[in-house]
Amino acid sequence: MPWKKVNPAKIHRLFYPQVPVVITAWFKGRIGGMPAIWHTPLSFKPPLVGVAIAPEHRTHEMIIGAKAFGVNWLDFSYAKQVGELGDASGKDYINKLSAVGFRTVKGRASGQPLIAEASAVLECLYSERHRVGTHELIVGRVVAARADAGFNDYWDHARYSPLLYAGTENRRGKSWVFKSLRGKTVTVPLRNQPGTKESNE
Amino acid sequence: MPWKKVNPAKIHRLFYPQVPVVITAWFKGRIGGMPAIWHTPLSFKPPLVGVAIAPEHRTHEMIIGAKAFGVNWLDFSYAKQVGELGDASGKDYINKLSAVGFRTVKGRASGQPLIAEASAVLECLYSERHRVGTHELIVGRVVAARADAGFNDYWDHARYSPLLYAGTENRRGKSWVFKSLRGKTVTVPLRNQPGTKESNE
């Protein structure tokens, strides 16, 4: 205290900074992916994770169609690619991941695409979904989890610098803002200016 | 890549670092609170938020009983108090929040306790719950949201330094590890050493 009222449309920003994960899926010959910050682990055993996605996203349709999805953690050095992925629409690309410069590998446990540059990946099988207001919480059961040398029981922050989403800023056009644990800030210009629709900005 | 397999019991640690919120509730004359890192916004309109809590937690029982709860964001300078709150059991205290040094105020919209030292607070009315493996996702509808001068459309990191949970470390006893965006680390010793049960360590 003292506190002042927060605009109800901006409540989600109180949760920032949040580590974005890239949700990936293969469906009907297309590879899709989107950064998501509305996610959380949900269970230890079985290992279940949840991601809340607006049903109008192409990736939502692909996950439901594929009945599986990948979860990818990218190091801070990939801020630009993650931002561009958030700015692009899946309907424009056969492989949206390669369109922003990522290489994809096929996960053996799920058949879903994973990002080769990722520091860690999960392969999830679709488990259940719950409509909650504007979004749908999709729950996945983790059937494979892998990480590079940056993770060893815990993340080793000397080897892995987490990417933290902190919102947008508007200086000569709108940009995503990403922070690191080391005091760095990177801004990634939005080309498609989603400001007219509701988005996690 | 190259990736190696991650132990399924440690998958939740890939989501670190995460900003803990303190979930607060008043029920049957007792004030409870616990830090939670398994949380996410779920909807813009109505504003809905979710927190996954193991049903054996006293705070879970209190939220379900009260049909409401508070969500509190504490600045990095309160790492010690937030850690101690995670280490204490609600059954030992009439007011668990004051036991770790926080002052409580009663939220006018929900009747639930809020932490006076918090940089931002939500008052939520219980909306629905979904059992998901070991945890239960509790969904709350936000009926009041307030923040101090550190939040103005977005968090102002010059005024508010987010607290980021990064796991535990074990040097002469186990400690919680918290990171800031400014390269700082604070460790808070665990007195009750919960290692024997499943916990978000």
pLDDT number for residue B191: 85
If one counts every other C-beta atom within 10 angstroms of the C-beta of residue B94, the result is 11
Q: Is the pLDDT of residue B195 over 60?
A: no
What is the mean pLDDT of the segment spanning A105-133?
Answer: 98
pLDDT number for residue A198: 45
State whether B13 and A154 contact (CB < 8 Å).
Answer: yes
Q: A-B interface: how many C-beta pairs under 8 angstroms?
A: 225
What distance in Å separates the CA atoms of residue A89 and residue A92, rounded to the nearest whole number?
6
Contacts of A21 (CB under 8 A, 6+ apart): A35, A36, A39, A51, A71, A72, A73, B15
Say what the ipTM of the complex is.
0.96
pLDDT number for residue A194: 53
State whether B19 and A15 contact (CB < 8 Å).
Answer: yes
What distance in Å separates the CA atoms of residue A29 and residue A73, rounded to the nearest whole number?
24
Q: Look at A181-185, B10-14, B22-26, B88-92 and tell me which has the smallest mean pLDDT.
A: B88-92
State whether B6 and A146 contact (CB < 8 Å).
Answer: yes
State whether B154 and A13 contact (CB < 8 Å).
Answer: yes
Chain B residues whose beta carbon lies within 8 Å of the beta carbon of residue A13:
151, 153-155
In B, minimum Cα distance to A116 occurs at B1
- Which two tokens mark A143? 């059937």
Are A183 and B182 in contact, with CB atoms under 8 Å apart? yes
State whether B14 and A181 contact (CB < 8 Å).
Answer: no
Q: Which of B14, B142, B144 is the closest to A73 by Cβ?
A: B14
B83 φψ region: left (φ > 0), alpha (ψ -120 to 50), beta (else)? alpha
What distance in Å separates the CA atoms of residue A13 and residue A19, rounded to the nearest whole number?
13
In B, minimum Cα distance to A198 occurs at B44
> Counting beta carbons within 10 angstroms of the beta carbon of residue A98, is it exposed (0 to 12), middle (13 to 18) or buried (19 or more)?
middle
Q: Is the pLDDT of residue A197 over 60?
A: no
- Which two tokens mark A3? 């506190």
State whether A42 and B132 contact (CB < 8 Å).
Answer: yes
Q: Which of B10, B19, B198 is the closest to A17 by Cβ?
A: B19
What is the mean pLDDT of the segment spanning A3-31?
Answer: 97
Residue B120 phi/psi, 5-degree rounding, is -155, 150
Q: Look at A178-187, B44-53, B166-175 and tell me which has the smallest mean pLDDT.
A: B166-175
The CA-based diameter of chain B, rounded to the nearest angstrom, is 54
If one counts every other C-beta atom within 10 angstroms of the C-beta of residue B78, the result is 24
Give bridge partners of residue A75 from the DSSP assignment: A162
Residue B61 belongs to what H/E stretch?
helix B58-66
State whether A120 and B6 contact (CB < 8 Å).
Answer: yes
Amino acid at B139: V
State whether A137 and B42 contact (CB < 8 Å).
Answer: yes
State whether A8 and B42 contact (CB < 8 Å).
Answer: no
pLDDT number for residue A40: 98
- Which two tokens mark B135? 């945890």
Are B178 and B76 in contact, with CB atoms under 8 Å apart? yes
Q: Which of A9, A40, A149 is the closest to B39 by Cβ?
A: A40
Percentages helix, strand, coil for chain A (3-state, rounded to 5) are: 20, 45, 35
User: Which of A16, A44, A119 would best serve as a mutation to test chain B binding (most B beta carbons within 10 A)?
Assistant: A44
Give the model's confidence band at A92: pLDDT under 50 very low, under 70 low, under 90 confident, else very high: confident
In A, minimum Cα distance to B178 occurs at A181
Give bridge partners of residue A18 from the DSSP assignment: A165
Alpha helix (H) ranges present in chain A? 58-66, 79-87, 96-99
pLDDT number for residue B69: 98
Residue A88 phi/psi, 5-degree rounding, is -90, 155
Q: What is the CA radius of gyration of chain B?
A: 17
Angle (CA) B40-B43-B44 rounded to 5° is: 115
Give the model's confidence band at B89: pLDDT under 50 very low, under 70 low, under 90 confident, else very high: confident
B178 versus B93: the higher-pLDDT residue is B178
pLDDT number for residue B194: 54
**Beta pairing class for B48-53 and B120-132:** unpaired
Angle (CA) A187-A100-A27 rounded to 5° is: 130
